[in-house]
Copies of this chain bind each other. A is one copy, B any other.
């Protein structure tokens, strides 16, 4: 009896032990953790920080502020506060100003394993790649593949150039296209409403090479003149989402197509873009604005190429995008933008005071059907004659947009960003609902 119990205890122990071993083995293999050595410390650190709860209204980061200890603290979204970001700040203004593309963050939370990056301390310390270029050939290959899948750009027989964000690339392109060895400067134009940065850059750098010359339309009749012109064509346009085409033509005109928003999230893709100089950016594709990755002679001398870290990050993110059919991110992003436009349109449906831009549906070769636009920005108009300062009208209702005059337009217009975080968008809709609901009342501020 004793022996028998002894034996059965043994058996029980052995079975437990074997099961435990099996679990370890499964855990190690399934987790792919077999033999992990130098990466495990950093991996554990990253997972610890990622596991910090910020109530869904904030996030802790590896390089975040550290208070009392070693772990970074929660960095809360606008209008949220507290150590775990759980407190809503009631009188807080809705931020609909900048184009921070946080609407894509949930996608990356869901695809955290495929998009995680592990970088060794000795990774690509050189200024250049082995072929003496500043550009990763594998990254270039992935970018061409992505454009082929989406069908939004012809990349055959084109050079691919990288920059620290499309901002730098746009500036580089202007330098490259402005004529060398000429005493007269090149004029820079864009059609109203236009993206603020073109004007700001041209004026800030005050290069003898070029000068901002305002609205492209006013130069249409002068296009046979001898002045050399560069036209920036943003298509889809920022702020109004229109698929702009160039206004100026002729031997003295060069065109830079800003294609930052030419992705199925934001617009029907009627045909692959096929311009001589097209500028794309990671920030409006994957949402990684902070990585500063857009698309050379100028860039070398300005900052000696793009960070190898940014290139590796872009490589990893685009590889994650291309897993499976490579369409998942577009479906997620399009559904998100579509749902936001539906909520925005609903919020303003009963309003006579505010109107939105109209872009007629077009055939999209990516979705093989006619579809609506779902632009990154609403180009809101205050319809009342008295509402000359639409920005102030919205600000009084605790909504921060961007003034029409910043786009070369009237101040009856305000741009509202729709690509920000879920929190920012929700607060924006709440504020708009309230504003519209007060419209028929006696006083509307």
Contacts and interface: CB of A to CB of B under 8 A. Distances in A.
Chain copies in the assembled complex:
2
Given A121-B317, A136-B63, A204 B291 contact: no
Interface stretch (A36-44, A245-253, A347-355): A36-44
A2 B136 CA distance: 68
Contacts of A287: 125
A108 B167 CA distance: 33
A289 B127 contact: yes
A45 interface: yes
Contacts of A302: 167-168, 171, 201, 205, 302
Given A205-B207, A307-B164, A31 B36 contact: yes
A346 interface: no
Interface in A1-45: 3, 6-7, 10-11, 13-14, 17-18, 20-21, 24-25, 28, 31-45
Main secondary structure of the interface of A (DSSP, over half): helix
A424 to B, nearest CB: 11
Contacts of A66: 138
A123 interface: yes
B104 A125 contact: yes
Interface in A35-90: 35-47, 50, 59, 61-66, 72, 75-76
Given A36-B40, A207-B207, 20 more contacts: A7-B10, A31-B40, A32-B41, A41-B116, A63-B124, A63-B311, A65-B137, A75-B130, A76-B130, A108-B120, A109-B121, A115-B122, A121-B320, A164-B292, A165-B304, A167-B303, A206-B208, A291-B308, A307-B309, A309-B312
